[in-house]
Amino acid sequence: MTLRALIADDEPLARALVREFLAAHPQVQVLAEADNGLEAARSIQDLAPDLVFLDIQMPKLTGLEVLQLTGLRRGVIFTTAYDQHALAAFDLHAVDYLLKPFSQQRFDAAMLRAGQLLRTGAPEVERLVAAQTLARVLIRDGTELRVLLLDEVDYIEAQADHVAFHHAGRDHLKAQRISELEAQLDPRRFVRVHRSFIVNLRQVHALERTESSGHAVRLKSGKRIPVSRSGHERLLAVL
C-alpha cells in the first residue's frame, strides 16, 4: 500500500532531512512540501495526504492550528526543535513527536507508530487538539483559503449546518455546528448569547433592554444581537 505524504516545515534543510530518512520507507510517496502553516492547511484540504510531517513553529499558522483548522487527526508526525508550551501539551496527552535533531532510528520508530495509528485512529491527538483554544479560523474567500483572526470577528451566527463569521461588514461561511465551535473558543472572550449567536466581547458596546423586557447586545459596529434568557446569565457570569 502506498502512503501519500506531506512535509510541512519552514526550513528547506529540515524538509530535506525528512526526505532523506524517508528513503528507507519506499512505501511512502511525498506528494508535496509546505513552507508555512497556511500552505500546509491548503495541501491537506486539497490533497488529503495519508501522512503529514508537521513542524510546530511555522509562519502564518502553527502546526497545532493546522490540525485545528483542517480537522486532520490521523497520520500526523509532529516535529519540533524546542517549544516548551507545545512539548508540555504533547507530553500531557501522550502524543508522540520527533525532537530535532533526530536519528534515522528514532524516525523509523515514529513511522512505525504512525502506521499503526493510521488503522486504529489517534485519540490522543484528538484530545491534544481539543485542549487548544481557537485563535484563528480558516475561511474560503472565493477559491482562496484565508486565515481570519477570531479577535477581529464581531459575532458568529448559526446558519443551518454552517456558521457565519461576521468581520468588517462581510460574512464568511464555514461548515461547522455552532455548539462545536463554541467549545473551541476562549470562554472569557466569546459568549454564546443566543441559540444562534456567539459574540466577541471585545466588540460589544452595550447591553440593552428590549421593549418585550428581554435583552440585546449592541456591538461597536451598531449591530444589535438578540440575547436569550440563558444567554443573559452566561453574559453576566463572564462580565
In the complex, least distance from residue 150 CB atom to other proteins, rounded to whole angstroms: 11
Q: How far is C-alpha 109 from the geometric centre of its chain's CA atoms? A: 27
Nearer to other proteins, 152 or 233 (CB): 152
111 neighbors 103 (Cβ within 8 angstroms): no
What is residue 133's DSSP assignment? P
Instruction: Give the nearest distance from C-beta 170 to other proteins in angstroms.
Output: 16
Which CB sits closer to other proteins, 136 or 192? 136
Distance separating alpha carbons of residues 228 and 175, to the nearest angstrom: 24
Neighbouring CB atoms inside 10 A of 179's CB total 11
CB of 87 to other proteins, least distance (A): 11
The three three-digit cell numbers of residue 209, written as one number? 433592554
Q: Are 208 and 218 in contact (CB under 8 A)?
A: yes
Shortest CB 173 distance to other proteins, Å: 21
Using alpha carbons, list the distances in angstroms from residue 72 to 170, 200, 239: 27, 27, 35
Q: Which of residues 81 and 130 has its CB atom nearest to other proteins in the complex?
A: 81
**Closer to other proteins at the Cβ: 54 or 217?**
54
> Left, alpha or beta for 151 (phi > 0: left; psi -120 to 50: alpha)?
alpha
Q: How far apart are CB 14 and other proteins at their closest, in Å?
A: 6
Task: Considering the complex, state which of residue 30 and residue 207 has its C-beta at the smaller distance from other proteins.
Answer: 30
- Please, what is the end-to-end C-alpha distance for the chain in angstroms? 55
Cβ-based nearer residue to other proteins, 101 or 222: 101
**Secondary structure element (H or E) that encloses residue 21, with its range:** helix 12-22
> Nearest distance from residue 177's CB to other proteins, in Å?
27
Least distance to other proteins, CB of residue 222, Å: 24
Write phi, then psi, for 219 (nearest 5 degrees). -85, 165
Return residues touching other proteins (CB under 8 A): 10-14, 16-17, 20, 35-36, 57, 59-60, 81-83, 99-102, 149, 151-152
Nearest in space to 197 (alpha carbons), one of 237, 226, 236: 226
Nearer to other proteins, 99 or 236 (CB): 99
